[in-house]
């Protein structure tokens, strides 16, 4: 009589480390966090920070530092991890140097362990960088149009136009910037910017 064998046990010691990011304080991380938990990430690092570069994102650094050989770096969307081609390649290189791999939940058809998958992630990073630059250009064009219409950009000036004219008269009359600043109750830099 043949002995019936039980189920084969297969242990997966790879740890899944998730990373979530939104660009502004007004945006919500919930959707990404739910996806990362559903994927089985044991550790999840999240932050609200600009995606402009990786140096300003301490949680990304911590997530990458937590990777050990055979671990998996998981992001819900690749453009949440990076906004530039160079940063994307840097992240992939860091993951590879640690002997880990990456998984992108919104791109499940990519095999990120192979060279083609890494090249595709590089392409996605380049597309994200292009999109970011396009948005910046649109924002700059909007600011220029507003300026042409005479709209004031930035915070409210400390001195109204009448006060500015009066301060300039005082400066022309020989008063120092420090004296004029004290009269109006503003910093010397505010007065120095009038000229």
Tell me which residues are annotated as active site.
Answer: 23
Residue with tokens 């058809």: 109
CA–CA distance, 181 with 176 (Å, rounded to integer): 9
What six digits make up the tokens of 96?
């590879």
For residue 44, the cross-strand partners are 18
Q: Which sign, positive or negative, has the C-alpha torsion 63, 70, 32, 55?
A: positive
Helix (H, G, I), strand (E, B) or coil at 16: strand
Q: Return the closest-CA partner of residue 78 out of 45, 105, 46, 49.
A: 105
Burial category of 67 from C-beta neighbours within 10 Å (exposed 0-12, middle 13-18, buried 19 and up): buried
CA–CA distance, 159 with 184 (Å, rounded to integer): 8
């Amino acid at each position: 009589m043949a002995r019936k064998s039980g189920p084969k046990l297969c242990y997966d010691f790879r740890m899944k480390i998730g990373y979530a990011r939104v660009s502004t304080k007004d945006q919500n991380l919930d959707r990404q966090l739910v996806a990362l938990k559903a994927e089985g990430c044991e550790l999840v690092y999240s932050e609200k920070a600009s995606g402009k570069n990786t140096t300003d994102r301490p949680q990304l650094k911590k997530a990458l530092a937590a990777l050990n050989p055979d671990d998996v770096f998981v992001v819900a969307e690749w453009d949440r991890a990076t906004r530039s081609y160079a940063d994307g390649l840097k992240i992939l290189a860091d993951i590879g140097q640690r002997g880990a791999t990456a998984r992108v939940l919104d791109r499940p058809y990519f095999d990120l362990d192979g060279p083609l998958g890494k090249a595709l992630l590089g392409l996605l990073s380049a597309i994200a960088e292009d999109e970011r630059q396009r948005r910046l250009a649109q924002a700059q064009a909007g600011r220029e149009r507003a300026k042409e219409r005479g709209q004031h950009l930035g915070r409210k000036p400390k001195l109204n136009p009448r006060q500015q004219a009066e301060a300039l008269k005082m400066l022309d009359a020989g008063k120092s910037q420090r004296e004029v600043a004290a009269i109006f109750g503003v910093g010397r830099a505010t007065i120095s910017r009038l000229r």
